[in-house]
Homo-oligomer: A and B are copies of this chain.
Amino acid sequence: MNIINSVGALALSTRLQVLSEQLRKDGALLYKEYDINFEPKWFPVIYTLHQKKELSVVEIATEIGYSHPSTISLLKELEKEKIVQSKKDKADERKRIISLSTKGEELIVKMLPVWSIINSALEEIIDNENNLLKAINEAEEKIKRSSFFQRALIIKEKAGLK
């Protein structure tokens, strides 16, 4: 094993990032395998719109956990591909209401069986003594109660008082 994989928690952020990147790349290959013109990075937006039908830009950003500028740039690509469409909110002129286009809906129908396969393959990979998805949920739950930074400060305090 290389050093970074044996440091333990210290290199956690790097480990998460490398694994994420690895999965994203294989995901892209899979869509290509099925001749579907779809990029993995679009998934959060598309899946959210599939579930919620109509949302504003910031609502989508919140759902997918990205900043709103990142969301805008994803939406721009998706609008260029004619997968999503948008219209002004009549009640609030600042808002843009985003929804899937007909092409977008058709794309989803094509992707559903692929998503099912992707899901099975990922379930296979994470189904271990320690389930990766559950581990993420549990870790995020802890962070929500008190962030990594706050916890470190508290540990520092305690060490200082000794």
Contacts and interface: CB of A to CB of B under 8 A. Distances in A.
A142 B120 contact: no
A102 interface: no
B13 A16 contact: no
A151 B120 CA distance: 9
Interface stretch (A75-83, A87-95, A127-135): A127-135
Given A130-B131, A134-B130, A121 B152 contact: yes
Contact of A126 (B20, B126, B135): B135
Given A4-B47, A8-B133, 19 more contacts: A3-B47, A3-B52, A4-B44, A4-B63, A5-B140, A10-B43, A11-B44, A12-B133, A13-B20, A18-B65, A19-B140, A26-B149, A26-B152, A27-B148, A29-B149, A121-B148, A125-B143, A130-B130, A134-B135
A155 B23 CA distance: 17
Interface residues of A, number: 75
Contact of A10 (B11, B19, B122, B131): B122
A9 B132 CA distance: 9
Contact of A118 (B10, B66, B119): B10
A137 interface: yes
Given A13-B27, A128-B138, A121 B151 contact: yes
A138 B23 CA distance: 15
A4 B45 CA distance: 9
Given A26-B147, A128-B142, A135 B137 contact: no
